[in-house]
Amino acid sequence: MSPLTPEVKLRVEQLRQKLQEASYAYYALDNPIMEDAVYDRLYRELQDLETQYPEVITPDSPTQRVGERPANQFTSVRHNIGLYSLENAFNIDEFAAWQERWRRYGKEQEIGKESFEYVCELKIDGSALALTYENGILVRGATRGDGITGEDITQNVKTIRSIPLKLNLENPPFRVEVRGEAFLALDTFKQINQEREKAGDTLFANPRNAAAGTLRQLDSRIVAKRRLDFFAYTLHIYGKDDTEIAQTQWESLELLQKMGFKVNPNRKLCQTLEDVADYYNYWDTERLNLPYMTDGVVAKLNSFKLQEQLGFTQKFPRWAVALKYAAEEAPTRVEAISVNVGRTGAITPLAELTPVQLAGTTVLRATLHNINYVRSLDIRVGDTVIVHKAGEIIPEVVKVLTELRPPNTQPFQMPTCCPVCNQPVVKLADEAVTRCVNTSCPAILKGALVHWGSRDALDINGLGEKLVHQMVEKNLVHSVADLYDLTPEKLMTLDRMGKKLATKLIEAINQSKTQPWARVLYGLGIRLVGSVNAQTLTQKFTNVEQLETASATSIEAVYGIGAEIAQSVFQWFRVPANQTLIERLKAANLQLANQESAPTATNQSNKFNGKTFVLTGTLPTLKRDEAKDLIQKAGGKVTSSVSSKTDFVVVGEDAGSKLQKAEELGITRLSEAELLQMLEH
């Protein structure tokens, strides 16, 4: 081994500094300064140098984020500063009462006479962490625990990319304590549960449950794969003169971001009770558009001096309160357990519930996913259960209160035959899902027809569930191809179907023949092929003949298409009934190939190449999907969230946080008219 030289030491330090700057820009500022390939090359160089010279490895090195060996157990640690719970308020009147209480206490203590203001922050629904830095280096990450003691999970905390291993300060103080919330983005949470369902594992009840479970994994490599995120919201500094320390909560949030932390951008400085009410009411609905879960708003008095003077009750700080939104979990009773047959034949057990109000809606039933989930809960008819519903997530049972179980209950058994067509069901060894495999099953047919006519597929206006149910029950259709053989006279045999309505539906069905090949492929309902995958596949396989004759290997070779999707597509085209369906759709003149662009349209098809758009609000004349199609046909990309990579934000009425973030990042704003004008020129 060659000796360690000053040049090697300098190179190691330079690499660490560069990689830390890149991580900060990417994870905290959402403003990448380095290509992934460059980052990977520099990371590998640092890794090689540390392997060759182990003595240069330091705890703050980017290579130390994931431990090499699982921990045997977590040790209990005492927090340097206790993590208090917050008093709850469930509406603005309760917030006003809380404000009156602290002001009355302040008057008694002769404090808080000067004007005051609040900092309002979103209450992230995750898992609280306490981080300790000494001389700028992360030395400990701990769970909240009971607020006095928690568990040392430093090895896992280091895997979270939005938590800096080294503070971005020239002259860091002796000790810095940072509090914040670790959480999982909704897309990540969904992906984790899909993987667990496929493996037959118990599903996580919600993102908070998943974040907490992830943080307590003994193997930090598993934690790293789950891509936890983190927002910092509290800062304590030791070893600095008071003049160098933030004097308000607002200043501390800005300082946290400067130090290298990710701070939630949706915060607001409020001067009055009305300002707090506006913030609270705005996010009550707008939070449903966020990529992570929130369950309320935290309002804190901005002045640290006033916070210190007010102090704490036995349970809570007097200077902060959590304004909670409507309950998203509630107890109810299981009246029955039924099953639903979906368009892919998947048989899903459902808990039929005593009606319960949850997140502003009445919940009558909740999904139980599959038999493995049923068994893990041991749910039975008559049980009292906790039902969870967040945002637009389907209600699900997350806990059974077995101590309230009535006597003589029986475990639930999945049916051995399809409840609709009475044919035997199948459960493959590598799947958690039980399926009906009878392609003539009315339930599968109904689901296929509804999917075919849905907005992202063939977009047949008027082809809803009730009408589809009648069509199948009266044997008017036996496949989606039969839709194109319908006449107004046949439709008029259905209930409440007059000549005018029947003619209108036939026109909508005929109009669907103009929908592009990608939508037709998505409409076929091939398992695992969503609208995005359909777009990807039709770019490579420009007509149905190319796709139906392609091997599984060539399908998998398409960027973005995995082995499971490729196998699903390949097998679908091997089924004789599906081959017949394709021939009938060809005969009906459906678009089963990409259309060649006319010379005059060539320029437009490339007009938005390399440009990324975000749509927000309600546009005057275009539906969201119509605007998306126009942009994509012009070569552009449409994403759901605003970042520094966004080029344009198309804004309609009632635009929300996406517009706010776009303005903060200085991204060009377009009206519908301006978008259409760009497409025309």
Give the residue numbers marked as catalytic: 123
417 is in an annotated binding site: no
Amino acid at 452: W
Annotated binding residue at 418? Answer: yes
Q: CA-to-CA distance for 112 and 244, rounded, in angstroms?
A: 24
Q: How many CB atoms lie within 10 A of CB 640?
A: 11
Instruction: Enumerate residues 6+ apart whose C-beta is below 8 A from 680.
Output: none
Is 125 annotated among the ligand-binding residues?
Answer: no
The reply, when asked if residue 181 is annotated as ligand binding, is yes
The response to whether 44 counts as a known ligand-binding position is no
Is 152 annotated in some ligand binding site? no
- Determine how many CB atoms are found less than 10 A away from the CB of residue 34: 16
**Structure tokens given for 41:** 């090359």
User: Coil, strand, or helix at residue 342?
Assistant: coil
Residues in the chain: 681
Beta bridge partners of 424: 417
Instruction: Give residue 183's Cα distance to chain centre.
Output: 11
Q: Is 37 annotated as a binding residue?
A: yes
392 annotated as a binding-site residue: no
Contact between residue 536 and residue 565 where contact means Cβ atoms under 8 Å apart = no
Q: Is 286 annotated as a binding residue?
A: no
Q: Provide the greatest CA pair distance for the chain.
A: 91
Helix (H, G, I), strand (E, B) or coil at 391: coil
**Residue 567 class from Cβ within 10 Å (0-12 exposed, 13-18 middle, 19+ buried)?**
middle
Is 513 annotated in a binding site? The answer is no
Cα separation, 120 vs 282, whole angstroms: 12
SS3 89: strand
Report d(CA 105, CA 233) in Å as an integer. 26
Question: Sign of dihedral through CA atoms 321, 327, 328, 329?
Answer: positive
For residue 202, the 8-state DSSP code is P
The pair of structure tokens assigned to 22 is 């890149």
| Cα distance between residue 165 and residue 132, in whole Å | 10
Q: Which helix (DSSP H) or strand (DSSP E) does residue 335 occupy? A: strand 329-341
Distances (CA, A) of 640 to 226, 453, 614, 643, 676: 21, 24, 6, 10, 20
The DSSP letter of residue 474 is: T
- Tell me: is residue 679 an annotated ligand-binding position: no
Q: How far apart are CA 214 and CA 126, in angstroms?
A: 11
Rg of the chain over CA atoms, in angstroms? 29
What span, in angstroms and rounded, lies between the C-alpha atoms of 204 and 226? Answer: 13
Residue 545 is labelled as binding a ligand? no
> Residue 12 and residue 63: Cα distance in Å, rounded?
12
- What is the H or E stretch that residue 6 is in? helix 6-23
CA-angle at 566, arms to 563 and 567, nearest 5°: 85
* 499 labeled part of a ligand binding site: no
User: Which residues are documented as binding site?
Assistant: 36-40, 85-86, 121, 144, 181, 300, 324, 418, 421, 441
User: Which residues are documented as binding site for Zn(2+)?
Assistant: 418, 421, 441
User: Which residues are documented as binding site for NAD(+)?
Assistant: 36-40, 85-86, 121, 144, 181, 300, 324
